[in-house]
Amino acid sequence: MTSHQRATEIPELVRRLGSRRPLVVDAARARLSIIGARAVEALIGALEEGDARIRAHAMPLLALIQDPRGREPLAAMLLDRDPKLREIAARSLGRFASWDAVVSLERHLEKEKRPEVRVATVHALLQQYAAGQEASIRKPLALVSEPAEDPRVRIAAMALVSMLRPAERRALFRRLRHDPTPEIARKAVELERRLEAEKSEEGVRMRATIAALASDDYAVWNAAVHRLAGYGSSTVEPLVAEMQRRAHDPEYCTRAGMVLKALGPRRGRSLADHLDRIEEPLPLQVLVEVVGALGEKSLIYRLKDLIERVSGRAPSAEDANGFDPMHRVRAKAHLELARVGSRVAIQDLRRVLSDPDQRVEIEVLAAVERIGKRDEIALLLRVYHREDRFVRDRIARVIRSIMRRERIRRNDPMFQTLGALERRTLDSILPPASLRVRSQNALRRRALTRSLTE
């Protein structure tokens, strides 16, 4: 797809998010989630427009794409006048696992008055906790035992019981069973009984739990995530099969990925066979991300085989417009290999950079920044001119990073072989010599000052 075609496709897809026809909206959501980082600016722009329907769909998409540029706009949407949009903003911000997101959500919880929005904010904090932000549980844990809090908010906070250790869970249930609010005491008894029943019926209930992962109710699907993770490696086969069946549902695939990441490296090794078989882009993207999150090197190195399989396939009929969603799968696989410092797939990475008909994914640039050497600099300079401003800035950063790491000077003989256009590009992205000398002198002065004061 040409730059002009992509530029017109993304705004049209964003416009379709405002359609009243669910099939049109679902198709646009699936496509934008596959396009990924290139759609982020348009989605952020949509948050500033007046169409509430588009804004309501744009926020979850930013959460699915997980580009860091989306975090601050979502935090700003917590201040929107429409409580429904504040609710969606809170749930979406819960997907960005970071301390900044936790702080924004906690501040919002202190000011927000609407119970339904407070419920969404509590759910978002619990999601942050599940993603590794340990401190994010303190507010929900305090609210669950707060008599003055709205019962709906306290019941929402009860979702944390599935995250607690058995001893902590039992202690919390003991307190809640005698809570002065009858609704809370009754809910605590029901929840305790349900958890006990589920423990004894794990095998029978697994498929029902996999189906519950698609629920619109946060408490239901969040509990399903933790129950499925508790089943261990036995959940991998049926869960991946359901991901394939729901291959056009980015929300479901993302939730399934949360389960697979929670299994840990040992239980996740069975994913290797699925990397060789799955053909659907969205499930495959999620599996690549899971493999990277698990950190098992033997599994990560299997991504080289995936790259070879993806790069050798012919685009399907539905990709005849020039955009192949498998490009992003390939790019993500390269990034995960680069994160462990591997150059086993460097030849394919160079082929991606050399292809004049293919736009370079952000993940490809991130991979090159980690493992690129002098041979990749010329390719990056050629790519520079067929990309938009955002990607050009990233390319410039990657080139400077490689030159620092490899200790390459701007007068290196390798640059004498460049064409005139590439040499002008190099001059434009490197700091002037005078500025570089001043910076080096400043560093030397600071080092000398430190040595004199020590």
Per-residue confidence (pLDDT) for residue 270, from 0 to 100 = 80
Per-residue confidence (pLDDT) for residue 269, from 0 to 100 = 77
As for how many domains the chain has, the answer is: 1
Q: Which residue has 């739990």 as its token pair?
A: 209
Q: Considering the domain boundaries, does residue 367 fall inside one?
A: yes
Write the DSSP string, 277-311: H---HHHHHHHHHHHHHH--HHHHTTHHHHHHHHH
Question: Which pLDDT band holds residue 414 (cuts at 50, 70, 90)?
Answer: confident
Q: Considering the domain boundaries, does residue 444 fall inside one?
A: yes
- Whole-model pTM? 0.64
Ranges 149-163, 198-212, 214-228, 261-275: which has the least confidence: 198-212
The whole-number average pLDDT for the span 84-92 is 96
Domain that holds residue 399: 301-313+325-454
Per-residue confidence (pLDDT) for residue 234, from 0 to 100 = 80
Q: Considering the domain boundaries, does residue 345 fall inside one?
A: yes
Calpha distance 267→229 (Å, rounded)? 10
Q: How many residues does the chain have?
A: 454
Q: Which two tokens stand for residue 398?
A: 């990657």
Per-residue confidence (pLDDT) for residue 434, from 0 to 100 = 42
| In the predicted structure, residue 31 carries a pLDDT above the cut 90 | yes
| In the predicted structure, residue 447 carries a pLDDT above the cut 90 | no
Per-residue confidence (pLDDT) for residue 454, from 0 to 100 = 55
Contact partners, residue 358, CB within 8 Å, separation at least 6:
327, 352
Question: Which pLDDT band holds residue 6 (cuts at 50, 70, 90)?
Answer: low
Q: Which of 7, 26, 96, 84 is nearest to 52 (CA)?
A: 84
Question: Which pLDDT band holds residue 385 (cuts at 50, 70, 90)?
Answer: confident
Question: Which pLDDT band holds residue 437 (cuts at 50, 70, 90)?
Answer: very low
Question: Which pLDDT band holds residue 47 (cuts at 50, 70, 90)?
Answer: very high
Q: Which residue has 């349900």 as its token pair?
A: 194
Calpha distance 178→189 (Å, rounded)? 10
The whole-number average pLDDT for the span 20-34 is 93
| In the predicted structure, residue 155 carries a pLDDT above the cut 60 | yes
Q: Considering the domain boundaries, does residue 118 fall inside one?
A: no
Calpha distance 167→151 (Å, rounded)? 24
| In the predicted structure, residue 76 carries a pLDDT above the cut 80 | yes
Q: Considering the domain boundaries, does residue 166 fall inside one?
A: no
| In the predicted structure, residue 232 carries a pLDDT above the cut 90 | no
Per-residue confidence (pLDDT) for residue 441, from 0 to 100 = 57
Dihedral sign, CA of 193, 217, 37, 320?
positive
Q: Considering the domain boundaries, does residue 190 fall inside one?
A: no
| In the predicted structure, residue 215 carries a pLDDT above the cut 70 | yes
Question: Which pLDDT band holds residue 422 (cuts at 50, 70, 90)?
Answer: confident
Which helix (H) or strand (E) segment holds residue 265: the answer is helix 264-268
The whole-number average pLDDT for the span 248-255 is 93
Average pLDDT, the chain: 87
Q: Considering the domain boundaries, does residue 214 fall inside one?
A: no
**144 contacts 158 by C-beta, under 8 angstroms:** yes
Contact partners, residue 253, CB within 8 Å, separation at least 6:
243, 246, 247, 282, 283, 285, 286
The whole-number average pLDDT for the span 85-99 is 94
Question: Which pLDDT band holds residue 445 (cuts at 50, 70, 90)?
Answer: low
Per-residue confidence (pLDDT) for residue 199, from 0 to 100 = 65
Q: Considering the domain boundaries, does residue 268 fall inside one?
A: no
Question: Which pLDDT band holds residue 417 (cuts at 50, 70, 90)?
Answer: confident
Per-residue confidence (pLDDT) for residue 320, from 0 to 100 = 43
